[in-house]
A and B are shown apart, each in its own frame.
Chain A
Amino acid sequence: MKFETSTTEFLSAVGTATRFVERRANLPVLAGILMVAEGGRLTLRATNLECGVEITVPAKIATEGMVVVPAGVLSGFLNTARGKTVSISLVGEVCKVETERASASIKTLPHEDFPVLPRVSAERSFTAKSADLARAIRSVAYCASLSATKPELQSVLLSADGGKLTAAATDSFRLAEKVVPLRGSASTPQLLVPARNAAELMRILDTAGGEAEIYFNENQLSTHVGTIYYTSRVIDAAFPNYKQIIPKTFATEALVLREDLAVALKSISIFADKFSHVSVSLDPVKKTLTLTSRNPDVGEQVCTLKATISGEPFTMSFNGRYLADSLQSAQGESIKIQANGPGKAILIRDAGDDSFFYLAMPMNR
């Protein structure tokens, strides 16, 4: 095997593939990237058996063949390599990587053990703008649970219906939902993509741009964007029926500038205790939103913001980090906070945009 390719394109492809590599796998070959030079094309493949990626890179192929090299070594070497082109050849069991300035001989892994990526038939699919799809995932993915006990809570829910795609995630203490427009009117069942895999899909969509068509079946989901083929496992579980817990009526409603609240939450977090405990008060008479945090080891802070408030006065404790998280996904100028008294969840949404909402449970003393 022997080929020559542009350093920048090869490096970015290797960088993407490296994110899919499993370093601690039972199967050593999964720590590597498979490079296939065949039919005038160079394809890079990497997988951790949860999700996988295949990237085509334009290359001048002298001899066809395939090789697996450890991803960490290859990307580490290329990151410091300078020069326009890189040429790669296989000599016996050693892969020679040469740039203008440096050349490396990398020990290879047996390519016979490298698995194929699952293909999903084109029967069922939905299409959206890559940017929209990436935004949907970005708006909710941070809410997914980190604990592995419930795989459905570790996932991002994607479900298309009536020309819209709904993305949602929850760790059962807070929940986020984002709706983005679809191309066409495809309808899908609930697709649960592990949050880690969804984050990788998001990064690929961000760089690819354009439109993305997502193919799916009960077990697998995949897409072809630009030169990249991406595939992920779909979790066989049911997402909790969260629609029923969204409150319909509210005792208190407040409107506050998003930027003001974000800055206030950032500053209040300095004084928050290890539980990020922040007390939120809404006063409809004074028209103020007051945030208080207290840490016996540091001190305390009170922060008052002007707000438009209707309904009853309201005071409750929250995890300040949960509140701050919600603001990164909202984009409008102001934020609407809706509450229902002690022990009930509060709803945070973009005042001018109904496509996003965030639900957070209060803290209990």
Chain B
Amino acid sequence: MFCTYSFFDGKVVTAYSYTTNPMTTTKELWENALVELELTISKPNFNTWFKDTHIVKVEEGTVYLGVPSQFARDWLSTKFHKDILRSLRSLSDTVRSVEYIISRGPKKNTVEEARTVPPPPSELPLESIHQKTNLNPRFTFSSLVVGPFNELAHAAAQAVIRKPGIAYNPLLIYGPTGLGKTHLIQSIGNHFRVTTPDRKVQYMTSEKFSMDYVSSLQAGKVQSFKEKYRQYDLLIMDDVQFLAKMEKTKEEFFHLFNFLHDGNKQLIFTSDQHPNVIQGLEDRMRSRLNAGMIVSVTPPDHESRLAIVRAKATAHNVIMPDEVLEYLATTVEGNVRELEGALNLLLIQFELRNNETLTLNDAKTLLRGAASATKKAVSVQEVVRTISGFYGVEEHSIYEKTRRKEVVRPRQVIMFLLREDFKISFPTIGEKLGGRDHTTVIHSCEKIKNDLRSDSVLSQELSQIRLMLK
């Protein structure tokens, strides 16, 4: 390598003369005046002529305005003098006239000052989302409550950690909202980030992916978009079901998937449904997702809910009476997020009362609104319509006295759901479904309950139906 010597190594002294004494008050005065002038003068004119202007000094009612060149001085004084004077006068009564001086002003100084001061950290480092990986450090395995509802997903995640890219690739976790899918997949990412920092981990939502792709298309930088995503060793994408609706993004995602999968890079996704029932997903994508591991998370059972509530309360350093927690776990059904919301309600009350222990009655009054909001009224006809549609049988056949196999199963499922989810009495169910005896209904419910223990397809179907009924 060659380099040519410089004559003036360190000897060149730039002698700009600064006649300015930048006071904050004059600075503010001019900034305010500029804001007003910007409104009255066209943008190109404003940008051309008012760039690098500043107030040098104010003496006996005369504002001395520093401008960068004689071009600017001559033009400002002939063309914009009235506007400048008017705006300055409106801001300060003492201004009587304006003079223009050619001066480079404090611009250079401020630039150098800005360079030496490092930008202050805008967020606290602990809680902030990890910049590079986009992971939220709050989501770890230690803060995850494992119960029957998510133990399969948890086990799959552990397997992925032991053998990334080999054990289950891709890993897809699906289930309704608020059951800790994001928590689980981010925990995997955070684990890799801590244990193997050289691995490139990226967490993102499918929406972010799609937006990135669209903006790269607009900027004509599709290639750099591809390169950016193909470098990751572990890609975690939330809510992939949204991609099904976006044609071009879906295609790009398909290629990215193939590239990473071929390179044995671990892929982790979540969605709200099983890929087989996601509308608009192509078969090639569906079969690829099926090739890995698909696990579901279901709404937590009563014990798990209790464990979650207890863990969350402990995390806030609050001890609640067992009966209150029990009540909470019983009344607030459904997803964990709602459970957390209800608990927060109690925690705030607890704090307001100066840490006085809450009684069961307090909890009952406080949670009245929260508990009732979780139930939704659905008519029997609607349930019948949905479920018969789901199984592809004629709606009226449910009410008929037929014992054809393809009708019997849906009918039993309807009865089971009406009893379990909507708490309708056995005789009523029987009456509404074509005047059947209440013992028939009881038998159906028992049958489905028994089948559920061994039949995973049935439980999947039920959770699908429950989603549709929401």
Contacts and interface: CB of A to CB of B under 8 A. Distances in A.
Contact of A363 (B2, B6, B15, B16): B2
A199 B48 CA distance: 24
Nearest to A118: B70
A38 interface: no
A4 interface: no
A223 B298 CA distance: 86
Interface stretch (B71-79, B198-206, B382-390, B450-458): B71-79
B20 interface: no
Contacts of A172: 6-8, 12
Contacts of A319: 4
A209 B2 CA distance: 44
Nearest to A112: B79
Contacts of B5: 173, 343, 345, 361-362, 364
A338 interface: no
B52 to A, nearest CB: 12
Contact of A275 (B2, B7, B48, B71): B2
A70 interface: no
B8 A116 contact: no
B71 A364 contact: no
- From B6, B7, B17, B44, residue with most partner A Cβ within 10 Å: B7
Interface residues of A, number: 45
A116 B11 CA distance: 39
B16 to A, nearest CB: 7
Interface string A81-103: 00000000000000000000000
B381 interface: no
B45 interface: yes
A28 B48 CA distance: 10
Contacts of B11: 240
B81 to A, nearest CB: 13
A240 B12 contact: yes
Interface string A214-234: 000011100000000000010
A115 B75 contact: yes
Contacts of B6: 172-173, 361
B46 to A, nearest CB: 9
A237 B42 CA distance: 32
Given A26-B47, A26-B48, A240 B74 contact: no
A237 B16 contact: yes
A317 interface: yes
Interface residues of B, number: 30
B3 A363 contact: yes
A116 B69 contact: no
A236 B104 contact: yes
A365 interface: yes
Given A26-B47, A27-B48, A277-B2, A150 B14 contact: yes
A296 to B, nearest CB: 14
Interface in A338-363: 343, 345, 359, 361-363
Interface in A71-130: 113, 115-119
Nearest to A218: B102
Contacts of A277: 2
B13 interface: yes
Contacts, number: 99
Interface in A238-275: 238, 240, 242, 245, 275
Contact of B71 (A49, A152, A242, A359): A49
B8 A240 contact: yes
Contact of B45 (A113, A153, A359): A113
A233 B3 CA distance: 33
Given A27-B45, A113-B45, A220-B70, A173 B75 contact: no
A220 B72 CA distance: 12
Interface string A314-326: 0001010010000
A170 to B, nearest CB: 7
A91 to B, nearest CB: 25
Contacts of B12: 150, 152-153, 172, 240
Nearest to B3: A364
A219 B78 contact: no
Contacts of A175: 7
A363 B4 contact: yes
Contacts of A146: none
Contact of B48 (A49, A220, A236): A49
A331 B8 CA distance: 29
Contacts of A170: 7
A245 B7 contact: yes
Contact of B74 (A28, A29, A115, A363): A115
Contacts of A219: 69-70, 102
A345 B7 contact: yes
A115 B8 CA distance: 39
A181 interface: no
Contact of B14 (A238, A322, A365): A238
A18 interface: no
A118 B102 CA distance: 12
A130 to B, nearest CB: 24
A278 to B, nearest CB: 11
B102 to A, nearest CB: 5
Contacts of B4: 173, 319, 322, 361-364
A27 B15 contact: no
Given A115-B71, A238-B15, A364-B3, A27 B44 contact: yes
A52 interface: yes
A237 B69 contact: no
A47 interface: yes
A302 interface: no
A361 B104 CA distance: 33
Interface in B329-372: none
Given A170-B7, A364-B5, A116 B74 contact: yes
Contacts of B2: 275, 277, 317, 363-365
Interface string B2-35: 1111111001111111000000000000000000
A25 interface: yes
Nearest to B73: A118
A37 B104 CA distance: 36
Contacts of B3: 363-364
Contacts of B71: 47, 49, 52, 115, 117-118, 233
Nearest to A362: B5
Given A115-B79, A116-B74, A117-B71, 16 more contacts: A26-B47, A47-B71, A49-B69, A115-B71, A116-B75, A116-B78, A118-B71, A118-B73, A175-B7, A220-B69, A233-B71, A236-B17, A238-B13, A238-B14, A363-B2, A364-B3
26 contacts: A25-B48, A26-B44, A26-B47, A30-B48, A49-B69, A49-B71, A49-B72, A113-B44, A115-B71, A115-B75, A115-B79, A118-B69, A118-B70, A118-B73, A173-B4, A219-B69, A233-B69, A236-B16, A240-B11, A277-B2, A317-B2, A319-B4, A343-B5, A361-B4, A361-B6, A363-B4
By Cβ-Cβ distance, the 8 closest A-B pairs, closest first, are: A118-B70, A27-B48, A238-B15, A361-B5, A26-B47, A363-B2, A115-B75, A220-B70
